[in-house]
Amino acid sequence: GAGVSQSPRYKVAKRGQDVALRCDPISGHVSLFWYQQALGQGPEFLTYFQNEAQLDKSGLPSDRFFAERPEGSVSTLKIQRTQQEDSAVYLCASSPSEEETQYFGPGTRLLVL
């Protein structure tokens, strides 16, 4: 079956631009996670949704980062006024329920110039 998909796969933004990154989880998966992976590092947690409810946003690095999942399926991570330090791979993962294996998408590689 279809896995987690993310779009765009690559995004180049000028410093100060706003960007929106999309995640399509596996159909029926309740839980959705966003992670940020800087170059040479492991992924770091950003935020977590259970259906449409954002239950944990403790990992969002600043108020420029905003995530939503309005209908409990597709999620969008928005970064306002991008900065060079935002350059990273943004990974989305979904799982059938809270305590099950997370399945990762291919990521969106963001480069801020």
Partner 1 sequence: AQSVTQLGSHVSVSEGALVLLRCNYSSSVPPYLFWYVQYPNQGLQLLLKYTSAATLVKGINGFEAEFKKSETSFHLTKPSAHMSDAAEYFCAVSNYGGATNKLIFGTGTLLAVQP
Does residue 42 belong to the site contacting partner 1 (CB under 8 A)? yes
Does residue 19 belong to the site contacting partner 1 (CB under 8 A)? no
Does residue 1 belong to the site contacting partner 1 (CB under 8 A)? no
Q: How many CB atoms lie within 10 A of CB 78?
A: 13
Give the residue, chosen from 26, 31, 75, 110, that forms a contact with partner 1 under the rule CB under 8 A.
31
* Contacts of 99 by beta carbon, 8 Å cutoff, 6+ apart: none
Does residue 98 belong to the site contacting partner 1 (CB under 8 A)? yes
Please report, as ranges, the residues that interact with partner 1 according to CB under 8 A.
4, 31, 33, 35, 40-45, 48, 55-56, 58-59, 91, 93, 95, 98-99, 101-107
